[in-house]
Chains A and B, each alone.
Chain A
Amino acid sequence: MKTIIHLDTIEKRFAEAVVVPPLSLTIEEGEFLTLLGPSGCGKTTLLRMIAGFEEPTSGDIFLDGKPLGHVPPYQRDMNMVFQQYALFPHMNVEQNILFGLKMKKVNAAEQKRRLEEVLQYVQLTELRKRTPKQLSGGQQQRVAIARAIINNPRVLLLDEPLGALDYQLRKSLQLELKNLQKNLGITFIYVTHDQEEAMAMSDRIAVMNKGRIEQIASPAEIYNTPQTLFVATFIGENNIFRQASTCTAVRPEKIKLYRTDEQPGKHRCKGKITDAVFLGNLRKVFIRLDGQDQVVMAHQYAGDGLDWQVDDLVAIGWSQADEVKLPC
């Protein structure tokens, strides 16, 4: 794997506020990297620094080993898909898509060839003469992507590109985007606050919090072996058991429920069920531990024949291998 982008201890401050404390990050060529974090965690600022819309207060960004320093956005070999698409309202689909090639003065024949190719690729051939206003949200999104990829950028930056769409459409576009990335072989840097989206699409996820990267790893690693308390609780659901200076995280689906008289050797704690929520494929059971304030969440898969009721007294247990030890 070859490094395509390297962030070398870049920092961003606005006035006195530190938005991104010094941070380094290496992005491999052809990978789908997601910057995931709650709003205000600095992920968009990081993306905008890579694109060149914000200048790092210190540190430098390298593309293919060359420092980008003061290189303006229009000379960086990457393109961005904006959150609200930012399609030009006074141009039709075709003119929007061709904008980049026109600005780079690509010859007309080449422009036409690439236009047809891209239009077909994103299935917009029929709509080529429409203006953005005459398109649905999903269609506008396709135009935004077509407008970026027609330039054959080295890197595609995507700032919550699915944020404005409804749930069903988002789901199907997630897969489309992932396939697009695989087929084109372009490096994707994708910003989102939606962990499900990040899980579904990414090769690697960088979980961000307060401007810092808490952990950067594959979705499975992030989920199974979180390295910080923030990652453990931000990604999916988790039970955190505090003991002195260490925390133990156990996923709800790893927690087993027993009747108090059943297999006493596997019990860890006892408690009373305070809530049981049926969600179709699983049942979320909430247990208040005896003598403690803590409520533990356990996912019981529907069809296991057990029917837990509120106020039942239960014992819980889990296997040692499912524990994740975290500093806290």
Chain B
Amino acid sequence: MKTWRRNVLSGYSWLMLVFLYLPIAILMLYSFNDSRINAVWSGFTWKWYLSLFDNRQVMAALANSMTIGIISSVLATVLGTAAALAIKHYSLRWRTFVNGLIYLPIVIPEIMMGLALLVLFSQVHMELGKGTLIMAHVTFSMPYVMVIINARLADMGKELEEAAQDLGATPWGTLRHVTLPLIMPGIVAGFLMSFTLSLDDFIISFFVAGPNSTTLPLYIYGLVKRGVSPEVNALSTMLIVCTVLLVIIAELFRRKDSKTITY
């Protein structure tokens, strides 16, 4: 009876995993397919990957994604960390309210946010392009940074900062010598998370991108309109692998125990 139930349950969880990952696995598999036609397997090849590096449009999109990703995640990390540090000093009721407002963008449908940003940018007559993309990406990454840093700060408590002040450290000295070193793993995790979100974003970018600011996801979407080619599969595979790696690294930093870090 017991083994029977366990078998059903484990079978069910395997089925769930297949359901979640089969489409991605197929996409990845066909990126190594020698044939142009997706449905037929005719042998293993790296050629689609190699051809990507010869494609000027792909390289331009990659460069855009990298520029926007790095700039927006640096900005989101700096602004998010500063905001988290500031909110900590508010009274509890005010803090709960502000935190609620800040987390809201995480649950707002992306299409709404994209539309709202587009309306805003056109209201202030801002030309769509890398600038608007960076601003949009900062807007949706910052809440994630704040969630991570807030957790880190709550974990740290106030005693260490008080001890620093007691020993003669000014507020600035306390921040520099105690608070920042202790939340550094959270800051790194927040940065990697922002970069991943920026690299992956399609919906919001779709609304606020301009003619010369096509990012990789936008480029892939453009290609798919003309049919799913093996190049698209190869490009998507690379994007997936990068994302997964970044998320794993971010998670390792986020979980790093503040009591064990040494510099």
Q: How far is the CB of A37 from chain B (nearest CB, A)?
A: 21
Partner of A88, one of B165, B170, B178: B178
Q: Is the CB of B259 within 8 A of A74?
A: no
Q: How far is the CB of B253 from chain A (nearest CB, A)?
A: 15
- Interface flag for A151 (CB, 8 Å): yes
The number of chain B residues with a CB under 8 A from chain A is 22
- Interface flag for A328 (CB, 8 Å): no
Query: C-beta contact mask, A43-61 vs B, less than 8 Å → 1, else 0?
Result: 0000000010100000000
- Interface flag for B55 (CB, 8 Å): no
- Interface flag for B58 (CB, 8 Å): no
For B260, the closest partner residue in chain A by CB is A133
Partner of B260, one of A79, A88, A89, A92: A89
For B261, the closest partner residue in chain A by CB is A90
- Give Cα distance in the complex from A36 to B196, angstroms: 55
- Interface flag for B163 (CB, 8 Å): yes
Q: Which residues in chain B, 136-174, are within 8 Å of chain A measured between CB atoms? A: 159-160, 162-170, 173
- Give Cα distance in the complex from A90 to B262, angstroms: 5
For B167, the closest partner residue in chain A by CB is A100
Chain A residues contacting B259 (CB-CB under 8 Å) are 89, 133
Q: Is the CB of A89 within 8 A of B159?
A: no
Chain A residues contacting B165 (CB-CB under 8 Å) are 53, 72-74
Q: Which residues in chain B, 169-189, are within 8 Å of chain A measured between CB atoms? A: 169-170, 173, 177-178, 181-182
Q: Is the CB of A82 within 8 A of B261?
A: no
Chain A residues contacting B178 (CB-CB under 8 Å) are 88
Chain B residues contacting A151 (CB-CB under 8 Å) are 167-168
Q: Which residues in chain A, 73-93, are within 8 Å of chain B measured between CB atoms? A: 73-75, 79-80, 82, 84, 86-90, 92
Q: Is the CB of B261 within 8 A of A53?
A: no
- Interface flag for B263 (CB, 8 Å): yes
A-B interface contact total, Cβ < 8 Å: 66
Partner of B163, one of A72, A82, A90, A133: A82
Given contacts A90-B263, A133-B259, contact A79 B159 (CB under 8 A): no
- Interface flag for A70 (CB, 8 Å): no
Chain A residues contacting B162 (CB-CB under 8 Å) are 53, 73, 80, 82, 86
Q: Is the CB of B160 within 8 A of A88?
A: yes
Q: How far is the CB of B116 from chain A (nearest CB, A)?
A: 39
For B263, the closest partner residue in chain A by CB is A90
Q: Is the CB of B163 within 8 A of A74?
A: no
Q: Is the CB of A104 within 8 A of B168?
A: yes
Partner of B166, one of A51, A90, A92, A104: A51
Q: Is the CB of A86 within 8 A of B262?
A: no
Chain A residues contacting B159 (CB-CB under 8 Å) are 82, 84, 86
Given contacts A86-B159, A88-B160, contact A74 B263 (CB under 8 A): no
Q: How far is the CB of A130 from chain B (nearest CB, A)?
A: 11
- Give Cα distance in the complex from A131 to B181, angstroms: 15
The number of chain A residues with a CB under 8 A from chain B is 25
Q: Is the CB of B168 within 8 A of A74?
A: yes
- Interface flag for A103 (CB, 8 Å): yes
- Interface flag for B258 (CB, 8 Å): yes
Q: Is the CB of A99 within 8 A of B167?
A: yes
- Interface flag for A147 (CB, 8 Å): yes
- Give Cα distance in the complex from A216 to B40, angstroms: 92
Q: How far is the CB of B206 from chain A (nearest CB, A)?
A: 43
For B156, the closest partner residue in chain A by CB is A89
For A53, the closest partner residue in chain B by CB is B162
Q: How far is the CB of A217 from chain B (nearest CB, A)?
A: 29
Chain B residues contacting A73 (CB-CB under 8 Å) are 162, 165-166
Q: How far is the CB of A319 from chain B (nearest CB, A)?
A: 50
Chain B residues contacting A74 (CB-CB under 8 Å) are 165-170, 173
Q: Is the CB of B166 within 8 A of A131?
A: no
Q: How far is the CB of A128 from chain B (nearest CB, A)?
A: 15
Q: Which residues in chain A, 153-208, are within 8 Å of chain B measured between CB atoms? A: none
Q: Is the CB of B258 within 8 A of A103?
A: no
Q: Is the CB of B163 within 8 A of A86?
A: yes
Chain A residues contacting B177 (CB-CB under 8 Å) are 99, 103
Q: How far is the CB of A163 from chain B (nearest CB, A)?
A: 14
For B184, the closest partner residue in chain A by CB is A90
Q: Is the CB of B181 within 8 A of A90?
A: yes
Q: Is the CB of A103 within 8 A of B168?
A: yes
For A106, the closest partner residue in chain B by CB is B168
Q: Is the CB of A103 within 8 A of B182?
A: no
Query: C-beta contact mask, A219-230 vs B, less than 8 Å → 1, else 0?
Result: 000000000000
Chain A residues contacting B173 (CB-CB under 8 Å) are 74, 103
For B178, the closest partner residue in chain A by CB is A88
- Give Cα distance in the complex from A131 to B159, angstroms: 18
Q: Is the CB of B167 within 8 A of A89?
A: no
Chain A residues contacting B160 (CB-CB under 8 Å) are 86, 88-89
Q: Apart from A74-B170, A88-B160, what are 7 other A-B pairs with CB-CB below 8 Å? A: A88-B164, A88-B178, A89-B261, A100-B167, A103-B167, A131-B262, A151-B168
Interface residues of chain A, those whose CB is within 8 Å of chain B, are: 51, 53, 72-75, 79-80, 82, 84, 86-90, 92, 99-100, 103-104, 131, 133, 147-148, 151
Q: List 29 A-B contacts (CB under 8 A).
A: A53-B162, A72-B165, A73-B162, A73-B165, A73-B166, A74-B165, A74-B167, A74-B169, A74-B170, A79-B167, A80-B166, A82-B162, A82-B163, A88-B164, A88-B178, A89-B258, A89-B259, A90-B182, A90-B261, A90-B263, A99-B177, A100-B168, A103-B164, A103-B168, A103-B170, A133-B259, A147-B167, A148-B167, A151-B167
